[in-house]
């Protein structure tokens, strides 16, 4: 079987959807299928054959439309039996919609900026195009649609009740042998050593490439409410967040920032993993932390919120409620076996094999 994987930029190190696409490429190749990767650019090697596409256009919208057409033609030229795309494609065999409904993503950004009303606005410019491409895909341009959480499935059904494409939930998998409570002691020492802390220093981690969207501002406010706040490490952003730099806790040496840390250190190295997010279609870092036996705090806007609750973690109704957030940071930590029990069915190989089965069904139908 020849599988075409369609993505605007092939950048697995960005994590999230890009990393999942890279894992799928390796899995399909190992299963004996031919993988062809189509993108405008590639950073880092992966499995299969890479095809670079060049698009032109005066506006972002024009370039997006042309890229979608190039994807389809390039996949036909190499004889792909089935195509898989991540986002903003009006026509594809399987749309793997990691980002969820575009309107809900924009709503999350608005909430993180203090603007309310999840659907009380009209997208404009390229956002209007992205929403239209999404509508066309669900109206039948995509033969199947896979989403990372039941939260995303429900929001798509609400926005597109006339959707013709089948919407299926496949939660991202994790390496349960790597993310394990037995790694907590070593990871705790290593992470504190990396940050220059004493081995017994209380520590929180916030894995967030987009800290504002993931709730950094209310989190800092909540920490400032505590009489003896723990250390906080914000990991992921390329630049030190402005809210981080303005916090009075910075001068006390309690705030730490790293662009990149080993996911194992983030999952198992701290006392608590905190992500009071305004928008996260799943939250891979959350379930990795649960698998490692960590205490987790998040919000109802995370697709993995139900897993966090089942693992004895804290799920906030409103990430902007500073008092509730401060109380959540002080909640008792459960036995490490309880968080792990909430994710034992999220095996990475099992998840990728399920994706492989859907792709093979499409190729044969």
Helix (H) / strand (E) containing 34: strand 34-39
Q: Which of the two residues, 104 and 11, has the higher pLDDT score?
A: 104
Give me the mean pLDDT over the 215-225 stretch.
Answer: 96
State the pLDDT at residue 359. Answer: 97
Contacts of 101 (CB under 8 A, 6+ apart): 134, 152, 155, 156, 159
- The arithmetic mean of pLDDT across residues 315-331, rounded, is 96
- For the whole model, what pTM was predicted? 0.93
- The predicted pLDDT at position 114 comes to 85
Average pLDDT of every residue of the chain: 92
Burial of 240 (0-12, 13-18, 19+ CB in 10 A): middle
Cα separation, 311 vs 334, in Å, equals 8
- Flag whether pLDDT at 118 surpasses 80: no
Please check whether residue 1 is in contact with residue 33, taking contact to mean a CB–CB distance below 8 angstroms: yes
CA neighbours closer than 13 Å in the CB half-sphere of residue 321: 13
Rounded Cα distance between 99 and 149, Å, is: 10
Per-residue confidence (pLDDT) for residue 121, from 0 to 100:
58
Say how far apart CA 309 and CA 243 lie, in whole Å. 28
Q: Token pair for residue 201?
A: 């220093």
Q: Which residue has the higher pLDDT, 295 or 69?
A: 295
Q: Is the pLDDT of residue 117 over 60?
A: no
Residue 336's pLDDT is 84
Are the C-beta atoms of 335 and 311 separated by less than 8 Å? no
What is the 3-state composition of the chain as percent helix, strand, coil, each rounded to the nearest 5?
45, 20, 40
Strand partners, 34: 2
Q: Is 121 in contact with 110 (CB distance < 8 Å)?
A: yes
pLDDT computed for residue 63 by the predictor: 82
Q: Which of 57-61, 214-218, 220-224 has the lowest mean pLDDT?
A: 57-61
User: The tokens of 36 are what?
Assistant: 């062809």
pLDDT by residue (tens digit) across 225-274? 999 999 999 999 988 888 889 999 999 999 999 999 999 999 999 999 99
Give the span between the Cα atoms of 319 and 111, in whole angstroms.
10
Residue 301: half-sphere exposure toward Cβ, Cα within 13 Å:
23
The pLDDT confidence band at residue 122, using thresholds 50, 70 and 90, is low
pLDDT at 302 over 80: yes
Question: Could you give all domains of the chain from N- to C-terminal order, each with its CATH number?
Answer: 2-173+347-364 (3.40.50.2000), 181-341 (3.40.50.2000)
287 pLDDT more than 90: yes
Rounded to whole angstroms, the maximal C-alpha distance in the chain is 64
């Amino acid at each position: 079987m020849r599988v075409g994987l369609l993505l605007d930029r092939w950048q697995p190190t960005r994590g999230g959807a890009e990393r999942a696409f890279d894992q799928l490429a390796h899995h399909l190749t190992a299963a004996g299928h031919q993988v062809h990767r189509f993108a405008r650019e590639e950073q880092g090697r992966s499995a299969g054959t890479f095809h670079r596409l060049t698009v032109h256009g005066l506006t972002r919208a024009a370039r997006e439309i042309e890229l979608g057409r190039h994807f389809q033609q390039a996949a036909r030229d190499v004889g792909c039996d089935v195509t898989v795309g991540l986002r903003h494609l009006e026509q594809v065999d399987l749309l793997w919609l990691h980002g969820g409904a575009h309107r809900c993503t924009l709503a999350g950004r608005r909430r993180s900026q203090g603007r309310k009303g999840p659907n009380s606005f009209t997208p404009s410019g390229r956002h209007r195009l992205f929403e239209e491409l999404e509508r066309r895909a669900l109206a039948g341009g995509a033969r199947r649609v896979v989403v990372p959480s039941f939260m995303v499935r429900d929001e798509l059904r609400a926005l597109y009740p006339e959707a013709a494409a089948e919407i299926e939930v496949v939660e991202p998998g994790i390496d349960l042998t790597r993310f394990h409570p037995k790694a907590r002691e070593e990871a705790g020492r290593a992470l504190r050593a990396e940050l220059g802390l004493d081995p017994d220093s209380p520590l929180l981690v916030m894995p967030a490439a987009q800290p504002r969207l993931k709730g950094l501002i209310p989190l800092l406010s909540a920490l400032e409410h505590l009489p003896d706040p723990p250390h906080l490490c914000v990991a992921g952003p390329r630049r030190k967040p402005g809210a981080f730099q303005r916090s009075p806790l910075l001068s006390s040496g309690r705030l730490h920032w790293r662009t990149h840390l080993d996911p194992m250190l983030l999952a198992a190295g701290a006392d608590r993993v905190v992500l009071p997010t305004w928008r996260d279609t799943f939250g891979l870092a959350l379930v990795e932390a649960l698998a490692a036996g960590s205490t987790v705090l998040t919000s109802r806007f995370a697709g993995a919120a139900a897993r966090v609750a089942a693992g004895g973690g804290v799920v906030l109704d409103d990430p902007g409620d500073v008092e509730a957030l401060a109380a959540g940071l002080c909640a008792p930590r459960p036995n490490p076996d309880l968080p792990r029990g909430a994710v034992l069915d999220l095996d990475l190989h099992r998840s990728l094999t399920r994706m492989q089965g859907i792709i093979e069904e499409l190729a044969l139908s």
